[in-house]
């Protein structure tokens, strides 16, 4: 059977529409271009191209998987982030455009650190595919990044991306749970970045099937109120930062106020800003390590003990 690229697109689009994929036409184009090893725009310049039997079979398999709501990025093995083509695989959180606000904010603060110290040491907690760490490293040569993730599979993908983006010599990957693998007496950082799991556990079931059924739960589940990992970062993060070090964390919808309060209520932090995106949605909370926060807390406790 002879199948042209135009006919394959019609079939793929109809199949996805019947399965209520909102971006049916676009997804069919992306998958066909992927199968043929071409740019998507090239499909319209050669609508009469005849697919080989293997190409058409591969296309049909991918369309069926997309029809089952498997994420497009897992099917193509790639997602663009900060204009970088990053590899992604099943079991690794797919980078979102929202996280680019973490990168934008990190670059701004990193440049300030570089002006003062000639370099910037950055800690990326929950690096996933390595998107934030790699984006910052590719934009600022005077940076050294340590990236941590609990998933060995995610770290393997992140290392692949670092090599592809030519920053593997400046990004070090460590497996572990949040700050657990580090010793605060041996290393301090100028910036701490994180896009932690922040979806409340009870809300996971309401996520779209593309997310709920395919992306790793451990990268999504933020505990009963979605703030579990923020509490841990607020409680322990400052001891890994330089005296004027800064934490830059992504937050979920309507979480900026709660996360800001966690920082404000701690003796270890000073809230600097809440960064909004172009639609005025609060995306990132920024707080600075108070150099004498721990000493003040100790003195206060001693004064209270002496007055009792």
SS3 of residue 130 by DSSP: coil
Q: From its phi and psi, is residue 56 left (phi > 0), alpha (psi between -120 and 50) or beta?
A: alpha
Question: Quick check: 93 and 129 in contact, CB under 8 A?
Answer: yes
In the β-sheet with 171-175, what is the strand arrangement from edge to edge? 171-175, 143-149, 120-125, 189-194, 241-250, 282-289, 269-276
For tokens 């663009």, what's the residue?
Answer: 80
Identify the DSSP state of 118.
S
Question: Quick check: 126 and 195 in contact, CB under 8 A?
Answer: yes
Neighbours of 230 (CB within 10 A): 26
Q: Angle formed by the axes of helices 24-36 and 5-18, to 10°?
A: 140
The helix (H) or strand (E) run that includes residue 286 is: strand 282-289
Question: Quick check: 127 and 147 in contact, CB under 8 A?
Answer: yes
What is the Cα–Cα distance from 90 to 154, expressed in whole angstroms?
Answer: 9
What is the Cα–Cα distance from 11 to 1, expressed in whole angstroms?
Answer: 14
Please state the separation of Cα 273 from the chain's center in Å.
Answer: 20
Strand partners, 211: none
Residue 43: the pLDDT is 81
Total residue count of the chain as it appears in this document: 308
Q: From its phi and psi, is residue 18 left (phi > 0), alpha (psi between -120 and 50) or beta?
A: alpha
CA-nearest of 271, 122, 92, 111 to 190 is 122
Whole-prediction pTM value?
0.89
Residue 66's φ and ψ, nearest 5 degrees, are -65, -35
SS3 of residue 263 by DSSP: helix
Identify the DSSP state of 299.
H
pLDDT tens sequence for the chain (308 residues): 788 999 999 999 999 999 999 999 999 999 999 999 988 877 877 788 999 999 999 999 999 999 999 999 999 999 999 999 999 999 999 999 999 999 999 999 999 888 888 899 999 999 999 999 999 999 999 999 999 999 999 999 999 999 999 999 999 999 999 999 998 888 899 999 999 999 999 999 999 999 999 999 999 999 999 999 999 999 999 999 998 899 999 999 999 999 999 999 998 999 999 999 999 999 999 999 987 544 444 444 444 455 44
What is the Cα–Cα distance from 117 to 283, expressed in whole angstroms?
Answer: 28
Question: Quick check: 129 and 88 in contact, CB under 8 A?
Answer: yes
């Amino acid at each position: 059977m002879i199948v042209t690229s135009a006919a394959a697109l019609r079939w793929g689009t109809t199949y996805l529409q019947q399965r209520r994929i909102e971006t049916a036409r676009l997804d069919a184009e992306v998958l066909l271009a992927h199968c043929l090893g071409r740019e998507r725009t090239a499909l319209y310049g050669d609508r009469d191209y005849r697919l080989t039997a293997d190409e058409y079979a591969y296309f049909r398999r991918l369309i069926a998987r997309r029809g089952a709501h498997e994420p497009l990025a897992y099917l193509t093995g790639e997602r663009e982030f900060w204009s970088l083509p990053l590899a992604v695989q099943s079991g690794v959180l797919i980078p979102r455009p929202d996280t680019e606000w973490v990168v934008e904010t990190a670059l701004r603060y990193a440049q300030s650190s570089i002006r003062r110290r000639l370099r910037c040491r950055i800690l990326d907690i929950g690096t996933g595919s390595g998107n934030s760490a790699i984006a910052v490293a590719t934009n600022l040569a005077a940076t050294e990044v340590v990236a941590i993730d609990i998933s060995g599979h995610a770290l393997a993908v992140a290392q692949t991306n670092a090599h592809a983006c030519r920053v593997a010599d400046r990004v070090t990957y460590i497996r572990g749970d949040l700050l657990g693998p580090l010793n605060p007496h041996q290393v301090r950082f100028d910036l701490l970045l994180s896009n932690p799991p922040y979806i409340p556990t009870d809300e996971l079931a309401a996520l779209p099937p593309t997310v709920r059924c395919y992306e790793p739960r451990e990268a999504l589940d933020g505990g009963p109120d979605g703030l579990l990992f923020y509490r841990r970062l607020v409680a322990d993060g400052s001891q890994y930062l330089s005296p004027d070090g800064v934490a830059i964390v992504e937050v979920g919808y309507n979480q900026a106020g709660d996360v800001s309060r966690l920082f404000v209520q701690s003796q270890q932090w000073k809230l600097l800003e809440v960064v909004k995106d172009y639609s005025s949605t609060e995306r990132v909370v920024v707080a600075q390590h108070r150099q004498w926060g721990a000493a003040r807390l100790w003195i206060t406790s001693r004064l209270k003990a002496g007055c009792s």
